Structures are given as C-alpha cells and as structure tokens.
Amino acid sequence: MKRKIFFLVLVMISFTCFKIYGSTENCIDNNVKNLKKNIISSRDDYVTIDKIPEDLKNAIVSIEDKNFYKHLGFDPMAISRAFINNIKAGTIVEGGSTITQQLAKNAFLTNERTYSRKLKELALSIQLELTYSKEGILEMYLNYIYFGEDTFGVQSASKKYFNKDIWDLTLEESALLAGLPQSPSTYNPIVNKEKALWKRDIVLDAMLKNGFIDSCPLKNSREPLNDSLESNNVNYSNKRIVSNSSRYLSPLLVSTSKSVTTILFPPISFPSL
C-alpha cells in the first residue's frame, strides 16, 4: 500500500511541477537566478559557505533534512509519509519539507497551508537544485532563515545569542542555533533556556545518528550554555522594562523627569540534560 502511495505521489509531483514550470518558466528562472544576489543585498552580515563551521552545517542538515545531499530538491519518502498523515488527519498537518523547499517557501511564497502552494514550492525547489550547488543552497538558506529575536541569518544569530562571529562557534553552540529555525520562540535560549538545551541535545543526537560526530564529543557537549547568554538575558530584560515603562507610565515620564527602579532576578542555571 505504501509503495503504491509513494509511486502515486511521485507521479503527481512530476506532472504538476512540469505543468507549473512550463507555464511560468521565465518567471521562475529569473527569480531563482537572482535569488543569491537579492539575499546578499538584503543582508549586511552575509557569510559565505567557507566561513560557516562544518559543525553548524552538519547540525542543520541532521535536524532539518538528513537526505539533503542525496535528493533533487524534495524527499519523495518524506512527502509520501506527510501525504498519508494528512489524509488520516483530514487536513494539512505535515509538509515533509527539505532545506531547499524551506528556502523556496521563505524566499518566494506565503505560509498558507494548501496543496497548490506546496506544488509551487516543489517546482521552485527543483529549479533551485538545477541552478545552484548543494553548498550554494545551504549558504543561502543559512543566511536567509529566521532565528528569532528579530535575527535573520546565522551570523546575526551568532552575534545575538553568543556575542561572537559564526566561525568561532563551538559544537554545542552550533547545535543550539541549528535547533532554532523549527520554532524560534519556543527554543529561544534567552527566555527558554531549558527548552533550548533540550532541543540542542536533540540536534546533537541527530548528528551522532547521522555520523557527523562520535560519542566522545557528544558527552562533552552536553553542558550548560556559556556566560555570553547571561548578558543577553540582562539586555532582554532591559528592553522589556523600557517597553513596559513607556506603555504604562508614558504620561508620567513625558511630563516629569522620573527614574524607574526595578528588581532583576538573575536567570536560573538549568542543569544540562
């Protein structure tokens, strides 16, 4: 049964993508060919793939798309599995998106959960794979994706969360960043340190399973977040204080010169999981 569904899904994808591409060939070609140039122009801190640590690249691939280097833009098995689960649920609950599909969706499409949008995403993904190398796609993805806290791209995220350049990240820091795109607010290490550590360890386990690391560094990497996040917690709290002060005390602050006294509790140091 699953083989029949897999074959049916593959035929549907091939036919629909061919039809979509045939009717919008010039538009797709131009958008895809100009994508890297457009991303570079929109990012002041764009980093090339040679400056991105191997650990971070491997972490992203492990948690987001373990077959990234094997497929042509989409993973037929993942899509078939999602197709079955969506039929069971009676609605779209799973997408089976690859890194290439995520790049296509974020760069060109909306977040609407429809099959027509998904098929457009597949057509764009195939064209991305035909236009760029795997390293080129991964480079654009890592510079374009959202990491929470108003940060887009890995260099911006590295500066935000660890106050360092991306090429100075440790294995555990790379794993933590790799876990953010799936749910930036949930795994935000500034406000949800325990969940961030939990997700980081999920990423490390995925890296181990996919052969990117062995058990020795894995054991040493299950450690609490470093002190660079402590200052960011203070900065985050300061922003909240200013925001709430202006919201609730704005008439007072405008008419008189007043200071606001606060009590700031230090963040709890959660043990590594």
The pLDDT score that the predictor gives to residue 208 is: 94
How far apart CA 200 and CA 173 sit, in angstroms, is 8
Q: Give CATH for domain 146-273.
A: 1.10.3810.10
**pTM for this predicted structure:** 0.73
201 three-class SS: helix
pLDDT value at 174 more than 90: yes
How far apart CA 102 and CA 106 sit, in angstroms, is 6
User: Is residue 62 within 8 Å of residue 207, measured between CB atoms?
Assistant: yes
Same fold, 1-144 and 146-273: yes
pLDDT band, residue 42 (cuts 50/70/90)? very high
Cβ-based neighbours of 186, under 8 Å, separated by 6 or more:
192, 195, 199
The pLDDT score that the predictor gives to residue 122 is: 87
The share of the chain scoring above pLDDT 70, in percent, equals 61
How far apart CA 16 and CA 21 sit, in angstroms, is 8
The ranges assigned to domains in the chain are 1-144, 146-273
Cβ-based neighbours of 42, under 8 Å, separated by 6 or more:
none
CATH class of the structural domain 1-144: mainly alpha
The pLDDT score that the predictor gives to residue 88 is: 61
148 three-class SS: strand
The pairs formed by 214-218 with CB atoms below 8 angstroms and a separation of 24 or more are 217/171
Per-residue b/e over 168-200, b at no fewer than 16 CB within 10 Å? ebbbbbbbbbbbbbeebeebbbbbbbebbbebb
Give residue-wise pLDDT tens across range 64-114: 999 999 998 988 776 667 556 656 655 544 456 899 999 999 999 888 878
User: Is residue 96 within 8 Å of residue 118, measured between CB atoms?
Assistant: no
251 three-class SS: helix
Q: Is pLDDT larger for residue 133 or for residue 231?
A: 133
